[in-house]
Amino acid sequence: MSQHQLVSPEQRSNEPQRYYDPQAIARYYRSRPWVVIWRCLRIVWGFASFVFSFKLDQWGNRTEQNKLKRATQLRELLTNLGPTFIKVGQALSTRPDLIRQDFLDELIKLQDQLPPFDNAIALSIIEQELGRSIQKLFSQISPKPVAAASLGQVYRAKLHTGEEVAVKVQRPNLRPILTLDLYLMRWAASWIAPWLPLNLGHDLTLIVDEFGTKLFEEINYLNEGRNAERFALNFQDDPTVKVPAIYWRYSSLRVLTLEWIDGFKLTDTERIEALGLDSASLIKTGVTSGLRQLLEHGFFHADPHPRWTAVLKR
């Protein structure tokens, strides 16, 4: 099997598809129209229900009264549709120039307030990926995930050698879900593009392909680990920037084990003030490190919102 060949949702392969290949994905789903139709109906029904509720508010002059309800409905819709749509919602949550404030406040919750998947499944994935039982891997592990995101969730654990670590485990059946949604997005883009102004519709399919490429890179945890180590190497001379160490012996394509770091969000202004930290100094550190990434290293953190950056407690 070539590395670009699509693995079906029913298959269990030791070499899952690592790269986004729109042609392979299209070949696979063209022979399974029932899967495509069912998913398409679910997506269309979800958004149609939202739009209908939104229009009812307008027709009944209840837009202001129900604006928070509609914002919550949109967030729950994206959450229920799964990781692809959650990623879209996360991207929109950083665009106040496109999204009105009430919707923005709800979409921000998609960054770090997502429901976790079943604990037993997560622990089973860790054991399957690392080839050992949880007891042999860790001296202790949190009974529940300490955080859940669109593509995975995180446990706090301790190695038998004493180090505290964060264990990031990928959601089950992630690649089949992503490939199906990307296939539908690409198909929709090819139909919508001719009806849009030239500057919007010209590269719509390429935009979906770029989104798909980056998604597949993101679900390869080995790639994430390598990127973290490169980032750490670039800032090894800067004591104001801390990157967690990677524990390669406890990592795989779907499990990533990193050094546990205690910290809190940059947006937690009350805590910053309580600890007597200088906000201006934190801003300077962020701006300086950002400019170094762009201008000095040519290798930069492309997703620097609050859930991926933190202030150390010490």
Residues involved in catalysis? 303
Contacts of 311 (CB under 8 A, 6+ apart): 263, 264, 265, 266, 268, 272, 277, 282
CB atoms within 10 A of CB 120: 8
Amino acid symbol at 102: D
Angstrom CA distances, 22 to 142, 205, 305, stand at 39, 10, 29
Q: How many residues does this entry show for the chain? A: 314
CA gap 214, 218 in Å, rounded:
6
Closest CA to 220 of 137, 300, 152, 149: 152
CA gap 163, 144 in Å, rounded:
19
Rg (CA), the chain: 21
Closest CA to 225 of 168, 282, 294, 176: 168
Angstrom CA distances, 271 to 71, 93, 241, 280, 310, stand at 28, 23, 19, 15, 12
Structure tokens that stand for 304 in this block = 């620097």
CA gap 42, 60 in Å, rounded:
27
CB atoms within 10 A of CB 269: 11
